[in-house]
Structure 1
Amino acid sequence: MPRNRGLHDRESKRADIVTAARELFVSDGFDRTSISRLARAAGITPNTLYWYFTDKDDILVAVLTEIVAEDAAAYVDIADRPLVDRLSWLVERLQQVGPLVTTVHDRADKSTAVNNWHNGFHQFAESLFLADVEAAGLSGPRADAMVRIGTFVVEGLLTHAPAPEVTRAVIDTLVDAMS
Structure 2
Amino acid sequence: MAKTKRDQDREAKHKEIVAAARALFIDEGYEATSMSRLAATAGVAPNTIYWYFKDKDEVLVAVLDAEFSASVEGYVLLSASNPTDRMLWVASQLKRVSRLVSTVHSRLEKSATINAWHDQFHLLSEEMLRFELQQAGVAPDMIEARVKISVFTIEGLLAHPLPEPEKRAICAALLSVS
Taking structure 1 as the reference length, the TM-score comes to 0.90
Residues 24-63 of structure 1 correspond to what in structure 2 (within 5 A)? 24-63=24-63
Residues 74-89 of structure 1 correspond to what in structure 2 (within 5 A)? 74-89=74-89
CA distance in 1 between partners of 2:36 and 2:66 (Å): 22
Q: What is the CA-CA distance between 1:145 and the residue it aligns to?
A: 1.3
CA distance in 2 between partners of 1:50 and 1:170 (Å): 45
- Aligned partner letter, 1:101: V
Q: What is the CA-CA distance between 1:137 and the residue it aligns to?
A: 3.3
- Relative to 1, partners in 2 of residues 1:165 and 1:29: Cα closer, same or farther, differing over 3 Å? farther
- Aligned partner letter, 2:172: D
**Contact 1:101-1:159 within 8 A present in 2 as well:** no
Q: What is the CA-CA distance between 1:82 and the residue it aligns to?
A: 1.6
Residues 82-161 of structure 1 correspond to what in structure 2 (within 5 A)? 82-135=82-135, 136-140=137-141, 142-161=142-161
**Contact 2:138-2:175 within 8 A present in 1 as well:** no
In the alignment, structure 2 segments of 5+ residues that lack a partner are none
Q: What is the CA-CA distance between 1:45 and the residue it aligns to?
A: 1.7
Q: What is the CA-CA distance between 1:139 and the residue it aligns to?
A: 2.1
Identity among equivalent pairs (%):
39
Over the aligned positions, Cα root-mean-square deviation in angstroms equals 1.6
CA shift digits 1:76-110 (9 cap, x unpaired): 21113221010011111221111111111111221
- Relative to 1, partners in 2 of residues 1:60 and 1:87: Cα closer, same or farther, differing over 3 Å? same
CA shift digits 1:102-133 (9 cap, x unpaired): 11111122111111111111111111111232
Determine helix, strand or coil for the equivalent of 2:148.
Answer: helix
- Relative to 1, partners in 2 of residues 1:163 and 1:38: Cα closer, same or farther, differing over 3 Å? farther
In the alignment, structure 1 segments of 5+ residues that lack a partner are none
Task: Name the counterpart of 2:67.
Answer: 67
Determine helix, strand or coil for the equivalent of 2:139.
Answer: coil
Structure 1 moving runs of 4+ over 4 Å = none
- Aligned partner letter, 1:160: H
- Relative to 1, partners in 2 of residues 1:60 and 1:161: Cα closer, same or farther, differing over 3 Å? farther
CA distance in 2 between partners of 1:99 and 1:154 (Å): 15
